[in-house]
Structure 1
Amino acid sequence: MATKTMLHPRNQHREGYDFARLVAHTPELEAFTITNPVGQTTINFQDVSAVRMLNRALLKTHYNIGFWDIPDNYLCPPIPGRVDYIHYLADLLASNNNQEIPRGPKIKALDIGTGASLVYPIIGQSEYGWDFTGVDIDPAAIKSAQQICQSNQLQITLRHQNKRENIFRGVIEPHDAFHITLCNPPFHSSMEQADRGTQRKWRNLGEGDSRKLNFGGQNAELWCPGGEIKFIASMVEQSMEFADQCLWFSSLVSKKDNLRPLNKILAKAKVADFKVVEMAQGQKTSRFIAWTYIKKNQRSLYMNGTNR
């Protein structure tokens, strides 16, 4: 397939999906493959079972994950986009490390809302060897993530967030020090809004049977009171309490229009620096914001652990 040149240069999926290679590693995928109008092998991306099997094959082929599965009705993440976030975070850390990509377990990463799929820690450990802590409010998601860890002998710390209104509180412990936090926040403000968004996707695809479509997700994955802006605002507010325990905080931002109010929120928080990093995947552009309370001349020291 044609190279997806918009993906990050280190993204293993820049050249599209090599289905011959994927099927060789995961023969079960072959039953889900189809031929598109231009003669290329692909799958029906509206079929959740096909997407789940594709993810299983991608994680096995590229990231050495022998077992991967998620419970029914949980979000099935698009792997290439998730990979891009990790690579751009590595670039962000490199900017404080003499432009050298930091690798190995000395780099501590905190994944807020790690989900049943555990996809960010899997990718981050495979690509860079970082030491991940995954947090989620959903006990079933934590249980699924634990099963993935145990089946693949992954050394990933998992913590359950007990209070919905908390993000960092209760999961960052006094002895913790992280180089990066990451998050794919819920972006709807209510279940009704989430349902409307899903129905809109169904209409756009011209499909009447919603059960076949890959738009699953649990409540905590899809919506929270106040939506994305409120969630990230709470994240910024709570990050102030842990300003000296993390070099960079970050979060995906689904809507470009949300950047302006978020910039104002970060300015009020008196952060030392913040960045907006654009990521383009095919026709879709996504982005994340990152902020730090550590002054620029202290960041290289933080990377080396000499200021903690």
Structure 2
Amino acid sequence: MGGGRKRRRRDGSEAPSIHPRNRYAAAAPDFAMLASLYPSFAPFVSVSRGGRASIDFTDFAATRELTRVLLLHDHGVNWWIPDGQLCPTVPNRSNYIHWIEDLLSSDLIPPTSSSNRTVRGFDIGTGANCIYPLLGASLLGWSFVGSDVTDVALEWAKKNVESNPQLSDLIEIRNANKMSCSSEFEAVVGQAVRENTLEPVDGVVRSKPSILFGVVKDNESFDFCMCNPPFFESIEEAGLNPKTSCGGTAEEMVCPGGEQAFITRIIEDSVSLKNSFRWFTSMVGRKANLKLLVPKVHEAGASVVKTTEFVQGQTARWGLAWSFIAPSKMIIRSNTPGKANRSFMLHGLRREYGAFQVLKSAETFFHASNLLCKTNSSLFSIDITLSDEQAQAAMLHDEYGSVEGNSTKLHSGVTGASFRISVFEQMPGTLLVRGSLLNKELSGIFSSTFSQLEDTLKMEFLSKAR
């Protein structure tokens, strides 16, 4: 992201800012102005001696009224939630919407049908607030299915949609407990019963509550799904932050295993629904969990994996997105020449992670990037080969050569392996990963791919070392 207000990380580096298309990128909401326009908001606003207006973010009533007036003033949306329900912050939720807009407008993944049709999204756990469908519909004209499992969430989400007749045709609220009885869903449940992966409860075989599979209907297609998952493993953990009071029920805030387990279930569902969505996405509350989830997405066979950081004030969240659709063009390319040999070190690895485990993870990375690779386990090396189509796409996007010249190079020079990755043990807990360019015409893609490999392996193995 870029533009907007900046903040600094602890190490002094500049963190990402609020999304540049966010309405609040240039300036934070003006509490004094809002208080003058909306008398119901005025009691929650205090003004310091220096003239700075603020509200008490530990007061649920104050944060709920702020969300109400922001949605009304800036988006023309009528909105309310009862006491105790999760109260969303509008700037942060807008960041997520605009990131998905970036994903959809990029040329990474081709549209599934005519680009003239309305963008369609699926909001997992829309909650009583129904914030993502309301924002997506009001800001961008998108249509949504919002799902949930509790009566109060379903009731108030429908009320919030009905309170905005200008948007009501764009938003459907769906009860995830009433799973569609599709033949595919029944077949999967039947298979699980036969394999004894479902446990009987009160004499009835039940699976985990559905997230996507079984809730998405047969032959439905969506451009994306999104989710603000239950971040915590217990309600006690959910109440640890004394600086905010956003409310939230146990169903909204907590699930066994926390957000990591919940998003893992989305990843599992995405494998069965890979042809129903262009993009699968989820918000992630902890960077440590993001580092653990990225390899799971790669292992699931995703063709593209993207991450981002959302920023609102001092709060940071992360976004995870993946797709199983073949990229419309080469996505791991570079417009600058690369060196013929590159390397990086993995320091402080845990004892159980050695050269073999790193080599297999590298192999998974290349498979997920749709690159052909041949692994030599005895030499701890991988030879990566680009197809003619991939090589041509890489060279055609290299600004250092003409299209005509690159076409000639393709037919005369791009044969066999393109580059090699080798893993060497330096000492216990330390590995050297080296990349060697085997075809000089592909220096740009070699440099770009090796950098992405470095980020992926460090995220996977060094996070485990902590």
SS in 2 for 1:152: coil
- In structure 2, relative to structure 1, the CA distance for the partners of 1:34 and 1:95 (3 Å cut) is same
SS in 1 for 2:270: helix
**Alignment deviations for residues 76-125 of structure 1 (CA, whole Å, 9 cap, x no partner):** 111110010001110111113899xx998610011001010011111111
Check whether the contact 1:134–1:158 (CA below 8 A) recurs between aligned residues: yes
Taking the aligned partners of 1:125 and 1:185, their CA distance within structure 2 comes to 21
The structure with the larger Rg is: 2
* TM-score, normalising length: structure 1: 0.85
The match for 2:316 among 285, 299, 304 is 285
When residues 226 and 97 of structure 1 are mapped into structure 2, their CA distance, relative to the original with a 3 A threshold, is closer
Q: What is the aligned counterpart of 2:212 among 168, 182, 188?
A: 168
Percent identity, aligned pairs only, is 34
Equivalences for residues 1-308 of structure 1 within 5 A? 4-5=5-6, 6-14=17-25, 15-23=27-35, 25-36=37-48, 38-65=50-77, 67-96=78-107, 106-153=118-165, 154-155=168-169, 156-162=171-177, 165-189=209-233, 191=234, 194-198=235-239, 200-202=240-242, 205=243, 214-297=245-328
Q: Deviations over 1:136-186 (max 9, x none)?
A: 111210100111111211221110111752110222111311001100100
Instruction: Give the aligned partner of residue 421 of structure 2.
Output: none
The Cα of 1:23 is off from its aligned counterpart by 3.4
Code of the residue aligned with 1:143 in structure 2: it is: E
CA distance in 1, matches of 2:120, 2:51: 44
- Give the residue type in structure 2 aligned to 1:185: P
Q: Hey, which of these two has a bigger chunk of helix by percent?
A: 1
Would the aligned equivalents of 1:104 and 1:128 in 2 still touch at CA under 8 Å?
Answer: no
Q: Structure 1 residue 269: deviation in Å?
A: 0.6
Deviations 1:18-51 (A, max 9, x none): 2354235432111221113642112111111111
What is the DSSP-based 3-state SS (H/G/I as helix, E as strand, rest coil) of the residue aligned with 1:291?
strand
1:228-267: per-residue Cα shift (whole Å, max 9, x none)?
Answer: 1111111101111111110000001111111232122112
Q: Relative contact order: is structure 1 or structure 2 higher (C-alpha 8 Å, sep ≥ 6)?
A: 1
Supply the distance in 1 between the matched residues of 2:65 and 2:76 (Cα, whole angstroms): 15
Q: Distance in 2 between matches of 1:73 and 1:259?
A: 28
The 1:38/1:195 distance shift into structure 2, 3 A limit, reads farther
> Post-superposition, which runs of at least 4 consecutive aligned residues in structure 1 deviate over 4 A?
102-105
Residue 303 of structure 1 is matched in structure 2 by none
